[in-house]
Amino acid sequence: MKTTVATLEIPREVIYATRMTLDDLRKELAIHLFEEGKLSFGKARSLAAMTIWEFQQLLGSRGIVVHYDIEDYEEDLETLRRLGRI
């Protein structure tokens, strides 16, 4: 399966105003979309470019409950298969 990448332009002034790195902004977006139910755990973790454990810890540190359902499980299994880990 080929992955498509989309580019999002963020004005430099916005980046400076937030005093965040691009990686931090990506993590914040992932957290927000996960919390809103717009992204599954697996997709949000992927957007944040974090391991499962790191993303779980990040969510926990923010008091965000992980709603990990069968869809998330199947998505993670597919990712592991694609990476040749199972």
Q: What is the pLDDT of residues 21-46, one digit of tens each?
A: 999 999 999 999 999 999 988 899 99
41-to-12, 44, 76 alpha-carbon distances in Å? 29, 5, 9
User: Which pLDDT tens digit goes with each residue over 43-63?
Assistant: 999 999 999 899 999 999 999
Distance, CA of 14 to CA of 21 (rounded, Å): 11
- Whole-number percent of the chain with pLDDT over 70: 97
pTM over 0.75: no
